[in-house]
Amino acid sequence: MPNDQTQIQDPTTQYFNGDYPNQEQPAPGLQSKMSPVPDCGEKTYVGRERLTGRKALVTGGDSGIGRAAAIAFAREGADVAINYLPEEQEDADQVKALIEQAGRRAILIPGDICEEAFARELVQRAVQELGGLDIMALVAGKQTAVTRIADLTSEQFQRTYATNVFALFWITQEAIPHLKPGASIITTSSIEAYQPNPNLLDYASTKAAIMNYSRGLAKQVAEKGIRVNIVAPGPIWTVLQVTGGQTQEVIPSFGQPTPMKRAGQPAEVAPVYVYLASQESSYVTAEVHGVTGGYHCG
């Protein structure tokens, strides 16, 4: 796989574009046990000091898109706190090491953001241990495929909403008083908000809710100098996919229906988070940024 991001390359072959091996893990799973292991920019992301001295909180920062964003933030000069479930400690320890290799502080805060008390505590701990908060990348999510509505339990539906939507409310409400002008909140929607998969009724509808909530919040806090934007990934190869996020028959050809004929890698999403966290996007708020391999957001 090419490692030099400064050279022009064919994007259809730049990353893995074959069939994925069948594989399954119990949720929440570990990225380190996937085949192939997702590329989160560990060997490729080169920082350019765009976030020097800033303090970032990333939910879902142990793996996938959150991991890629955390690595990129650190290499751009930010100290980073990451949240993850305790079962994901192995992956989180790897991210901590990568952040520290970039010369930045890494704060690990395990816990379940489905629980309101912890979600609010997460913000307070991040503020206290980082010494403030300038960037929030809210990436953590729950995705479990269910082919028939008759089999979609109330428990799953409620937990998906608690993880993807309620936690977003608790965390942003708790954080707003601590954010100064210039701060950036970046939420994570999905192509599913526009083109819902019939197997993902609960997940897809939360992604639409995230988009709407984020746009409304952006307009509410703009006068405070706080920006809120949304990233909407398409099919990205992460541990969500192999822990029930896709049905098993989909795994080998995951991402191939896109115009680019392959799934994306987390490393391809991280630069959008960096852009939205930086002053380069100073006049950008309430916007959705798709990273979809050719699917349309809108």
Domain span holding position 188: 48-288
Q: Nearest to residue 238, comparing CAs of 262, 266, 270, 210?
A: 266
Query: Amino acid identity of 1?
Result: M
Q: Which residues pair with 108 in a beta bridge?
A: 82
For the chain, how are helix, strand and coil distributed in percent, rounded to 5? 45, 15, 45
Residue 132 lies in a domain: yes
Look over the chain and give the mean of its residue pLDDT values, rounded to a whole number: 97
The gap from C-alpha 82 to its chain's centroid, in whole angstroms, comes to 11
Structure letter (DSSP) for residue 37: P
Kindly report the number of other CB atoms within 10 A of residue 3's CB atom. Answer: 9
Q: Nearest to residue 235, comparing CAs of 244, 245, 225, 243?
A: 245
Instruction: State pLDDT tens for residues 17-41.
Output: 999 999 999 999 999 999 999 999 9
Average pLDDT in the 206-233 region?
98
Residue 41 lies in a domain: no
Average pLDDT in the 263-278 region?
98
Residue 283 lies in a domain: yes
Residue 37 lies in a domain: no
- Read off the CATH number of the domain in which 281 is found: 3.40.50.720
Residue 231 has phi, psi (to 5 degrees) of -105, 135
Q: What is the pLDDT of residue 269?
A: 98
The answer on pLDDT for 2 being more than 70 is no
Question: Strand 79-84 vs strand 184-188: parallel, antiparallel, or unpaired?
Answer: unpaired
Instruction: State pLDDT tens for residues 254-270.
Output: 999 999 999 999 999 99
Residue percentage of the chain with pLDDT more than 90: 97
The span from the CA of 86 to the CA of 2, in Å, is 33
Residue 28 lies in a domain: no
Average pLDDT in the 2-14 region?
82
Q: What is the pLDDT of residue 1?
A: 45
Instruction: State pLDDT tens for residues 45-56.
Output: 999 999 999 999
- For the purposes of burial, counting CB atoms within 10 Å of the CB of 86, is it exposed (0-12), middle (13-18) or buried (19 or more)? exposed
Average pLDDT in the 166-170 region?
98
* 203: annotated active-site residue: yes
Residue 14 lies in a domain: no
Residue 95 lies in a domain: yes
**Total domains in the fold of the chain:** 1
Catalytic residue among 203, 213, 273, 295: 203
The span from the CA of 146 to the CA of 120, in Å, is 31
Residue 106 lies in a domain: yes
Q: How far is CA 148 from CA 50, 152, 153, 199, in A?
A: 46, 7, 10, 7
